[in-house]
Amino acid sequence: MSKVIVFGSLNMDLTIECDRMPRMGETLTGRNFLLNAGGKGANQAVAAARLGADVHMLGAVGADVFGDSLRASLEQAGVDCGRLQRIEGTPTGVASITRVAGDNCIVLDPGANHVLRPKDVKAALDELAHPGDIFLTQLECDIPSTFAGLAEAHRRGLYTIFNSAPAVSVPRETWKSVDLVCLNETECEIVTGVFPDSDDAARRAMELLVSWGVSTVALTLGAQGSRVLSGDTWIVSLPPSVEVVDTTGAGDTYIGALAMARARGLSLEEAIAWATHASALACTRLGAQQAIPSASDVMSSLGTGVPEDKMSSPGTGLAGD
């Protein structure tokens, strides 16, 4: 089985529920405060591990109680933390999350997430990586280090998965190092200039990304599921009906499931089904990592299991290699 190497953020999530978002200068009374392990990188690592992948975390936390708690949460999920650095003098990243009617608004302080540099990513790949492994990253760590990591991993023959969030301007050359990009509606508009308010618009935006060098594009659309373009393959994936409680970790769960599927050798169609059902189940629980379902949860939702050979040895991988 291929390894999943995640270069990404770790944040402590401080979440509170409100009836509506406060206006500037306004104080509202909220409820149901939660303190949860989060960060896009850590969430995606936990999702991939909980769903059955061999996951290694590359990142940094502060030398504080939040950092120790985040490491423990990863290890409990089965993520290897041998390359997770503990930085003195820099606080652990923190996310302030306001929940309203199942949706959320997030403000980040990256803290130690911005400490690692390209040399740190390269050193970790020197120790861990082999051709065919998966390199998964986002945009909550140092941006130049992230772009350098994608280029280095792609050069070594790793399958690169890029979650372009929070969306920023990405050099055209970087897209050539991306095998699979996953983005939501807002990120799609920022990156491509096209808001995907219809399947035609979604496809135009996704074809633009393909023209820049990306092999496979996955676009998540909330309650409308996701759209995936890989070569000549176009997939419309609709989520199962669930009672939405909190969407905080849904996108990260989707991406972690894609990484697991690549590592396990599932087909593109199987990968998208797993990602769609896993992310829907994550919406039924509060929090980020604590809401991520297990493999058995997803198999129950799918109404089928994954063939034993697919879950124990590498296969052909996702389409669009």
Known catalytic residues are 252
Task: Look at residue 148 and give its three-state secondary structure.
Answer: helix
Type of residue found at 225: G
308: which 2 tokens? Answer: 């034993």
220 and 183 in contact (C-beta within 8 Å)? yes
Angle separating helix axes 250-264 and 268-282, nearest 10 degrees: 150
